[in-house]
Amino acid sequence: MSQEVLRVMVVDDENLARLRLKTLLSQSDCPNLVVAEAADARQALAALSPEGGSPGPMVDLVLLDIQMPGPDGLKLAERLRNLPLPPAVVFVTAHAGHALQAFELEALDYLTKPVRLDRLNAALARCAKRKPPAAAGAPGVPEVEEPTLVAQDRGRMVRVPASQVIYLKAELKYVTLRTAEHSHVLDQSLTELETQLGERFVRVHRNALVARSAMKALERRADDEEGGETWAVQVQPTGEWLAVSRRQVATVRDVMAGR
């Protein structure tokens, strides 16, 4: 029987620290998927409990730094305990002095930086054991395996989970896949990708698919190529603007309004 995939959120105010944790997670023996990351408590809570009534990502485990700007990791852990489906918490910190407070908050584990892969594996294994089978999805709804795209990266093949994709844009002879940190090249057509990815992505233009969760703003902007103005959608976290065709403006507006 295959082991269930742990959905992980990484919370740390240092980008390099988040990147190192994600690298270790990709090397872990325990199946996992980074579904969200945040630089502080505010971003983490906004991702888990977004406004507008739409549910945030299902998270089984939060890897949580303690010393951060604003409310620290201990205060965030207190807030997480009050969520309808509270995730497990593993503190990841450079200081060992908060261990007692951490375990008073029922933390699953307490890792000190630099994190070793064997300690992270042990924490993930503990989380996997405590995760009930029904926690992977809504009651009575079977879990759907997340699509994974295979991209080219400097002569090697890279598997990219759909949850990490911000947008897909057709160029002259290939499709560019954009994540928060990298751009990759795909051999598939946008039409094939649209069918594979389903409703989590929206066709905003004949040459672009955008993740619903990545849409930040929609407005009219100057068109440098053809002159005049055109509709465009801004994607997060890169801040890029992608053209939206007139016939798709209403669709994008409805998606951003949560309809």
Question: What per-residue confidence (pLDDT) applies to 48?
Answer: 82
How does pLDDT run across 1-45, given as a tens digit for each residue?
345 789 999 999 999 999 999 999 999 989 999 989 999 999 998
What are the structural domain ranges in the chain?
6-136, 154-256
CA distances from 258 to 26, 233, 251 (A): 32, 15, 11
How does pLDDT run across 211-251, given as a tens digit for each residue?
998 999 999 988 766 667 889 999 999 999 999 999 999 99
Cα(193)–Cα(58) distance, integer angstroms: 24
Percent of the chain with pLDDT over 90: 42
Question: What per-residue confidence (pLDDT) applies to 142?
Answer: 42
- Spatial CA neighbour of 252 closest among 193, 196, 210: 210
Burial bucket for residue 249 (CB in 10 Å: 0-12, 13-18, 19+) = middle
pLDDT at 204 over 60: yes
What mean pLDDT is reported for the chain?
A: 83
Question: What per-residue confidence (pLDDT) applies to 187?
Answer: 83
* Residue 126 binned pLDDT confidence (cut-offs 50, 70, 90): confident
Question: What per-residue confidence (pLDDT) applies to 139?
Answer: 44
Domain range 6-136, CATH architecture: 3-Layer(aba) Sandwich (3.40)
Least confident of 40-44, 83-87, 112-116: 83-87
* Residue 136 binned pLDDT confidence (cut-offs 50, 70, 90): very low
Question: What per-residue confidence (pLDDT) applies to 106?
Answer: 77
Q: What is the mean pLDDT of residues 143-170?
A: 78
Least confident of 53-62, 134-143, 166-175: 134-143
| Burial per residue of 107-143, b for 16 or more beta-carbon CB atoms within 10 angstroms, e otherwise | bbbbbeeebeeebbbebbebbbeebeeeebeeeeeee
Q: Which two tokens stand for residue 82?
A: 């009050």
Question: What per-residue confidence (pLDDT) applies to 46?
Answer: 87
Domain range 154-256, CATH architecture: Beta Barrel (2.40)
Q: What is the CA radius of gyration of the chain?
A: 20
At which residue do the structure tokens 């990759």 appear?
Answer: 184
Contact 26, 19 (CB under 8 A): no
Instruction: Give the count of beta carbons closer than 10 Å to the beta carbon of residue 192.
Output: 12
* Residue 181 binned pLDDT confidence (cut-offs 50, 70, 90): confident
Least confident of 54-63, 159-168, 173-182: 54-63
Q: What is the mean pLDDT of residues 53-60?
A: 66
34 or 51, which is more confident: 34
Contact 209, 255 (CB under 8 A): no
pLDDT at 91 over 50: yes
Percent of the chain with pLDDT over 70: 83
Question: What per-residue confidence (pLDDT) applies to 225?
Answer: 63
Q: How many Cα neighbours within 13 Å face the side chain of 28? A: 25
Question: What per-residue confidence (pLDDT) applies to 169?
Answer: 96
